[in-house]
Amino acid sequence: MFLIKPLSFVGIFPTCQLNKSSAEGVKMLHFPMFNRKISKKHRSPNYNDRINYDTPDALILHYTGMKTAKDAIARLCDPKAEVSAHYVIEESGKIHHLVNNNKRAWHAGKSQWKGVSDMNSASIGIEIVNPGHELGYRAFPEKQITALAGLCKDLMAEFDISPARVLGHSDIAITRKIDPGHLFPWEKLARDAIGLWPAPTEMDYQAGEDLILDPDALHELLNGFGYAASLPLGETVRAFHRHYYPEKFTTAADKPDEPDIATAAKLLSLIRQSHEIS
């Protein structure tokens, strides 16, 4: 029987290399060509004041899920739609700034991360143009990701946002949203410390073998990492895979709801990273 309490997984390992890799990531600029010209031609009336937050402390990344950038911008600026985001990034890399950073844009909807349910107040929302799963989901072009990376780095520096708080809409609204999806290059961005990426050690895999036998412990650790509590384990695991283990969506044999030893090992690695940088 598996007797270790969930939180005892954290901290039983020697200091990991992950801090080092993120520190190196900061020095290694993988996206040096960012063009910081940002258009303010389109402005959205859909915002209000942040509640309990003077400044944002998270970045939430989305895809637009519409046919064109023009359609998406029109909707995000339509007062009747009552949705918005602070930024939209076209596939060409062109950036539009629709809502001032100090205001509360309406992009997260019903959501939760680390017990906070008003993620609109806590975050900056960035919409990345992509037709999405219903209209022809496709890879995100390099120019678009380069522009996104530069924008994220600027916002993270300006508002002191931790890499652990760069999240996808699917992370904070796990039963409702699947964007930006499994094709989003989270791993590449994490090389520049934009978001976290798991780097499990041999010990993580060994601990993962035990953890996978205890679904309650796995569930508790996923909730502790940030995912909303009181939702089925399968859906939470699927959201985790969508961000941190995308092979679960690209290999026909893999079932995205079902955790395996690598799921557990990746989670343990991420928990340790988030403890080390906080």
Contact call for residue 86 and Zn ion (CB under 5 A): no
Confirm if 156 and 166 have CB atoms less than 8 A apart: yes
Contact call for residue 243 and Zn ion (CB under 5 A): no
Among the listed residues 71, 86, 215, 76, the one whose alpha carbon sits nearest the alpha carbon of residue 148:
86
Q: Residue 63, SS3? A: strand
**H or E element that contains 87:** strand 87-89
Q: Is 134 a catalytic residue?
A: no
Q: Would you give the distance in Å from CA 109 to the centre of its chain?
A: 15
Contact call for residue 192 and Zn ion (CB under 5 A): no
Contact call for residue 179 and Zn ion (CB under 5 A): yes
Q: Which of these segments, 55-63, 81-89, 147-155, 158-166, binds Zn ion (CB under 5 A)?
A: 55-63
Q: Which of 50, 59, 62, 85 binds Zn ion (CB under 5 A)?
A: 62
Q: Which of these segments, 5-13, 98-106, 163-171, 213-221, binds Zn ion (CB under 5 A)?
A: 163-171
Q: Which of 50, 169, 241, 242 binds Zn ion (CB under 5 A)?
A: 169
Phi, psi (deg, nearest 5) at residue 48: -150, -165
- 90, 91, 127, 258: the catalytic one is 127
In the region spanning residues 245 to 264, those forming contacts with Zn ion, defined by CB under 5 A, are none
Among the listed residues 6, 28, 3, 7, the one whose alpha carbon sits nearest the alpha carbon of residue 190:
28
Confirm if 213 and 45 have CB atoms less than 8 A apart: no
Of 126 and 217, the one with the shorter C-beta distance to Zn ion is 126
Of 62 and 238, the one with the shorter C-beta distance to Zn ion is 62
Q: Which of these segments, 4-12, 135-143, 156-164, 175-183, binds Zn ion (CB under 5 A)?
A: 175-183
Of 200 and 246, the one with the shorter C-beta distance to Zn ion is 246
CA-to-CA distance for 18 and 273, rounded, in angstroms? 6
Confirm if 190 and 144 have CB atoms less than 8 A apart: no
**Would you name the residues annotated as active-site residues?**
127
